[in-house]
Structure 1
Amino acid sequence: MSGTSEIKALQEGERELLLAIRESDFGRNLLAGLSRSPRSIAPKFFYDATGSALFDRICELPEYYPTRTELDILHSNASQIAEQMGAHANIIEFGAGSLEKIRVLLDAFPPDRAPDRFIPVDISAEHLEDSAQSLRSAYPCLEVLPIAGDYMKPEQLVDIEEMGGRKVGFFSGSTIGNFTPNETTAFLRRAQKMLAGGGLLVGVDLVKDAQTLHQAYNDSEGVTAAFNLNLLVRANAELQADFDPDGFMHQAFYNEPMQRVEMHLVSLRRQTVRVAGYNFRFEEGDTIHTENSHKFTVEGFREIAAAAGFRPGPVWTDDAGLFSIHWLESPSATPVPR
């Protein structure tokens, strides 16, 4: 091959790579998010292997109350929750993560009522497989069937929709607070249909004072900042981007009128960033909106669930009223025995 032919082949290969990057889920979403005003990106893209590990660290921080509070509620009410979930259920955990919380519930089932299957769904394939293997070792009689995918995409959950038996969803951590109101409604409506005859157990963070929320999302160790900034590191690794993480700053604050914590990446200077062959200009102070974490009242969330077709059932909270766990019954024309 001549030198000219080698250059042409290299250029063609580079074009094909750029096209593949632009058509990837992360690539499409980041390019679209950087092209709009204000700039934003969905928080699901935090969760590569590094981001998932950082989030596990966040959950252990003293300032981050949601995880330990939800775990305390689960421990205190596990038997009642297991009774609601019913015998021999297929448990589907959306956004499964480390699978720590499901162990609390699995331990609460009497042997003759133990779940038949556990199906964890998570976007981080590597992290999911490691967690699923650990769960198999701890519960050898439980069939564990992980699905590496996006639970917001119905086409990736076809196997679950076609599965027989009683189906019960588990959606912990108040991840539902990351959705827009329209996404919340859409997710709950799809879940109600998928889980008909069973139900959904969902963790919901509650409205509270701004200082508690500020500390939870601006920890003293800087782990949440590293988690936020890792989005740029991931873009550099996967999307031929040249973000300088030192050129951006983590910002999180409580937007009280909207009842949500917002996370942003703030440009510290005027700079141009290249992503998948496209240039994006940032002025000092320009931001990328990376996450919303909506907070709810108990009654407000029950109304949202009822509007999506669920029958709101028991609600469990901590003594301080920081967090809540809701059981939502999903009616069907032909009830499934519990």
Structure 2
Amino acid sequence: MTGRFALTRRLPDGYFDDALHTDVLKGLTGRPKTLPPKWFYDARGSELFEEITRLPEYYPTRAEHGILRERAGEIAAATGARTLVELGSGSSRKTRLLLDSLLRHGTLEHYAALDVSADALVAAGESLCRDYPGLEVTGCVTDLETDLGMPADARGPRLVAFLGGTLGNLDGEARPAFYARLRAELAPEDRLLMGVDLVKDPAVLVPAYDDAQGVTAEFDKNVLRVLNRELGAGFDPDAFRHRALWNPAEERIEMRLVSLRTQTVPLPALEMSAEFEEGEEMLTEIAVKFRRESLGAELARAGFELSHWWTDREGRFALLLAEPAGTGGP
């Protein structure tokens, strides 16, 4: 408890150390080599990502913010939410548009933030407590890949928000599993709000992940610094080049680190070394882009019904509202 802000932890001691060891061992011994993007986000990685969201090439944050600014009132009216649950809340900046509209609507009582970073939850939670003194604000440290950590005592109807296009970090196998866990948690009156980036010209997409200033490149390489610090690894970030490309078959952006030379990288904490050939690429992030028809069908197979679909004026990004199938209106 920090002031009025209550923080709970659903993960056992040593969870992140064990998860990092498992992910890196699996990723660096696979073909092709991979590293999960969640390991970008130490304090420096979070700072770099906030900087990315302000870059001229990176449109998703501005586009989503614009939709929320225009449609938050409709979302509040359509959901009547008493509890707003945000998955992967981070700094909770965009959340304030939803909070303001739900409070004006007269229904909101509780904001529950879920994230892997305790520091981010505390910083955002304390700020929200100061700015919304009548609102119950709680945070939960959890790993959304394995445990949604939905607050059991949250009063319904609940609005579950999954913003920022984060759904795109899940591939075609991971998304159905995520939907299934989420669907099992929702009552008939609950609603799901998601922000998704849409398929568009690669000439727009690729620069959003490979900006002219090189901020995204530093963000990508930050995962190597995390491994050096946490695992005693011997990565030289200057021996890798950031690359972003459009994969048309999968309709996704892929971020990769390209080895600039043949090299052996020691990872003493794992009692192994990773061998890289010159030009070998390691996949560090995917960002799937969506189409309304196929995403609606994907949600329907998981037991959700798409009820609202809003886009920015350029049709680059969408905000959707879905409900458990067969429940009708709120």
* TM-score between the two structures when normalised by the length of structure 2: 0.90
User: What code does the residue aligned with 2:217 have?
Assistant: A
Which of 21, 27, 45 in structure 2 is aligned with 1:27?
21
Which of 218, 243, 254 in structure 2 is aligned with 1:262?
254
Residues 52 and 124 of structure 1 are in contact (CA less than 8 Å); yes or no, is this contact kept in structure 2?
A: no
Which of 122, 129, 139 in structure 1 is aligned with 2:122?
129
Residues 77 and 105 of structure 2 are in contact (CA less than 8 Å); yes or no, is this contact kept in structure 1?
A: no
Output one character per residue of 1:82-103: Cα deviation in whole Å (capped at 9) or x when no partner. Answer: 1122142x21111111101110
Partner of 2:176: 185
Q: Secondary structure at the match of 2:85?
A: strand
Taking only aligned residues, the RMSD between alpha carbons, in angstroms, comes to 2.0
1:202 and 2:189 correspond: no
Inter-partner Cα distance in structure 1 for 2:238 and 2:64: 34
Output one character per residue of 1:15-43: Cα deviation in whole Å (capped at 9) or x when no partner. Answer: xxxxx899611111011100111111221
Which of 211, 215, 236 in structure 2 is aligned with 1:223?
215
Residues 76 and 105 of structure 2 are in contact (CA less than 8 Å); yes or no, is this contact kept in structure 1?
A: no
Inter-partner Cα distance in structure 2 for 1:23 and 1:99: 26
Which of 115, 121, 131 in structure 2 is aligned with 1:138?
131
User: What code does the residue aligned with 1:53 have?
Assistant: E
User: What code does the residue aligned with 1:28 have?
Assistant: T
Q: How does 1:161-180 map to 2 (within 5 A)?
A: 161=152, 163-180=154-171
**Largest Rg, 1 or 2:** 1
Inter-partner Cα distance in structure 2 for 1:112 and 1:263: 41
Inter-partner Cα distance in structure 1 for 2:302 and 2:152: 18
Q: How does 1:265-284 map to 2 (within 5 A)?
A: 265-275=257-267, 276=269, 277-284=271-278
Inter-partner Cα distance in structure 2 for 1:228 and 1:117: 35
Which of 42, 45, 55 in structure 2 is aligned with 1:51?
45
Q: Secondary structure at the match of 2:173?
A: helix
Point out the structure with the larger helix share.
1
Residues 87 and 113 of structure 1 are in contact (CA less than 8 Å); yes or no, is this contact kept in structure 2?
A: no
Inter-partner Cα distance in structure 1 for 2:54 and 2:134: 29
Q: CA deviation at 1:196?
A: 2.1
Inter-partner Cα distance in structure 1 for 2:17 and 2:210: 34
Q: Pick closer, same or farther for the CA change 1:309–1:21 going to 2, 3 Å.
A: closer
Residues 81 and 156 of structure 2 are in contact (CA less than 8 Å); yes or no, is this contact kept in structure 1?
A: no
Inter-partner Cα distance in structure 2 for 1:59 and 1:168: 25
Output one character per residue of 1:271-314: Cα deviation in whole Å (capped at 9) or x when no partner. Answer: 11111231111111112101110111111111111111011101
Output one character per residue of 1:40-82: Cα deviation in whole Å (capped at 9) or x when no partner. Answer: 1221221122111211111111100100000001101110011
Q: How does 1:85-100 map to 2 (within 5 A)?
A: 85-88=79-82, 90-100=83-93
Inter-partner Cα distance in structure 1 for 2:258 and 2:105: 54
Segment of structure 1 superposing worse, 323-332 or 279-288: 323-332
Q: Pick closer, same or farther for the CA change 1:54–1:23 going to 2, 3 Å.
A: closer
Residues 204 and 295 of structure 1 are in contact (CA less than 8 Å); yes or no, is this contact kept in structure 2?
A: yes
Structure 2 residues not aligned, in runs of 5+: 1-13
Inter-partner Cα distance in structure 1 for 2:15 and 2:113: 27
Q: CA deviation at 1:110?
A: 4.4
Segment of structure 1 superposing worse, 268-277 or 125-134: 125-134
Inter-partner Cα distance in structure 2 for 1:22 and 1:188: 23
Partner of 1:5: none
Q: Secondary structure at the match of 2:151?
A: helix
Q: How does 1:111-126 map to 2 (within 5 A)?
A: 111=104, 113-126=106-119
Partner of 2:141: 148
Q: CA deviation at 1:212?
A: 0.1
Partner of 1:233: 225
Q: CA deviation at 1:270?
A: 1.0
* TM-score between the two structures when normalised by the length of structure 1: 0.88
Q: Pick closer, same or farther for the CA change 1:234–1:110 going to 2, 3 Å.
A: closer
Alignment: residue pair count: 314
Q: Secondary structure at the match of 2:156?
A: coil
Q: Secondary structure at the match of 2:306?
A: strand
Partner of 2:3: none
Inter-partner Cα distance in structure 2 for 1:149 and 1:249: 32
Output one character per residue of 1:231-269: Cα deviation in whole Å (capped at 9) or x when no partner. Answer: 000111111111111111111111112100000111111
Inter-partner Cα distance in structure 2 for 1:223 and 1:142: 36
Residues 39 and 288 of structure 1 are in contact (CA less than 8 Å); yes or no, is this contact kept in structure 2?
A: yes
Residues 210 and 217 of structure 2 are in contact (CA less than 8 Å); yes or no, is this contact kept in structure 1?
A: yes
Which of 279, 283, 301 in structure 2 is aligned with 1:289?
283
Residues 120 and 145 of structure 1 are in contact (CA less than 8 Å); yes or no, is this contact kept in structure 2?
A: yes
Q: Pick closer, same or farther for the CA change 1:323–1:196 going to 2, 3 Å.
A: same
Structure 1 residues not aligned, in runs of 5+: 1-19
Residues 306 and 323 of structure 2 are in contact (CA less than 8 Å); yes or no, is this contact kept in structure 1?
A: yes
Q: CA deviation at 1:120?
A: 1.1
